[in-house]
């Protein structure tokens, strides 16, 4: 797929990996829908950077835990751009609010809602649009923690394993019109690691074969690859420095 002038929706794109994805697609000439929940300032900064490289973008707020917000989100997008060519389900929480064995049910459900139910509901919204136009791509953000032996916090690992299953199962349901794939990043230097002790970080990175952080830009390149490739569906690409070789 040629990405020039394609309408690309990137949820959770006001910072971190989502921001890198949005900017990378803008560099390819796509029109970007930048989404934020609370970080409006970050979203505006992404819009500003896209405009600097001559791209077109739209900033839209939505709470991805609320069905009515998601429905309104896509109404705004379709009103502005008429369609959606690529949906990137990136919005999510990086960790549990409290340790699993101390977590109240609400904390567990909140994380599952944003990490799993949100992408499912967003996909439900775009699939009729994509079927009508005869093509479309959905790319989910997974994680090495969703791999069979990913480890980490329990609810987060469960949520990303669910995204892997959702990716494969949905790919079967919507083929051949729509392709569904996922990118599973390894240890990427984002704000989620700012308060982690260096000893723990060294242990994590030493558990990979490349012995280093993965950059946000390297992850974004994997999304570009899947967006351009027309022969893959139901696949999870691990951008993990060799973590899953263990």
Residue 136 reports pLDDT greater than 90 = yes
pLDDT in tens, 49-107: 999 999 999 999 999 999 999 999 999 999 999 999 999 999 998 776 778 888 899 99
Average the pLDDT over 217-236 and give the result.
98
pLDDT given at position 189:
87
Dist CA 74 CA 231 (whole Å)? 27
Please state the rounded mean pLDDT for residues 160-180.
98
The C-alpha angle 184, 236, 119, rounded to 5 degrees, equals 70
| Residue 1 resides in a domain | no
φ, ψ dihedrals at 106, nearest 5°: -60, -40
CATH number of the structural domain spanning residue 78: 3.40.50.720
How many domains does the chain divide into?
A: 1
pTM, to two decimals: 0.96
pLDDT at residue 191 tops 80: no
Please list the active-site residues. 156
Domain that holds residue 98: 7-245
> What average pLDDT does the segment 227-234 reach?
98
Question: In whole numbers, what is the pLDDT of the chain averaged over residues?
Answer: 95
**Residue 207 vs residues 82, 157, 211, 212: alpha-carbon distances, Å:** 46, 17, 7, 10
**Is 183 within the bounds of a domain?**
yes
pLDDT score of 190 more than 90: no
Asked whether residue 168 is assigned to any structural domain, the reply reads: yes
What number is the average pLDDT over the span 135-143?
98
99 inside domain: yes
With respect to residue 70, please indicate whether it lies within any of the assigned structural domains: yes
């Amino acid at each position: 797929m040629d990405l020039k002038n394609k309408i690309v929706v990137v949820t959770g794109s006001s910072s971190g990996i989502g921001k890198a994805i949005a900017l990378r697609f803008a560099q390819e000439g796509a029109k970007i829908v930048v989404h934020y929940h609370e970080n409006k300032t970050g979203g505006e900064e992404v819009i500003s950077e896209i405009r600097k490289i001559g791209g077109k973008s739209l900033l839209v707020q939505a709470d991805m835990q609320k069905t009515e917000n998601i429905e309104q989100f896509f109404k705004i997008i379709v009103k502005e751009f008429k369609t959606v060519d690529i949906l990137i389900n990136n919005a999510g929480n990086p960790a549990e609010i409290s340790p699993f064995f101390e977590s109240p049910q609400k904390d567990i459900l909140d994380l599952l809602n944003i990490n799993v139910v949100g992408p499912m509901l967003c996909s439900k919204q775009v699939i009729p649009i994509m079927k009508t136009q005869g093509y479309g791509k959905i790319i989910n953000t997974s994680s090495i923690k969703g791999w069979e032996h990913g480890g980490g916090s329990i609810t987060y690992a469960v949520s990303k394993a669910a995204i892997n299953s959702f990716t494969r199962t949905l790919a079967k349901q919507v083929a051949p019109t729509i392709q569904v794939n996922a990118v599973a990043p390894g240890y990427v230097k984002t704000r989620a690691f700012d308060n982690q002790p260096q000893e723990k970080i060294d242990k994590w990175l030493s558990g990979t074969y490349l012995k280093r952080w993965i950059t946000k830009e390297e992850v974004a390149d994997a999304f570009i690859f899947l967006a351009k490739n027309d022969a893959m569906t139901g696949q999870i690409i691990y951008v993990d420095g060799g973590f899953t070789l263990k």
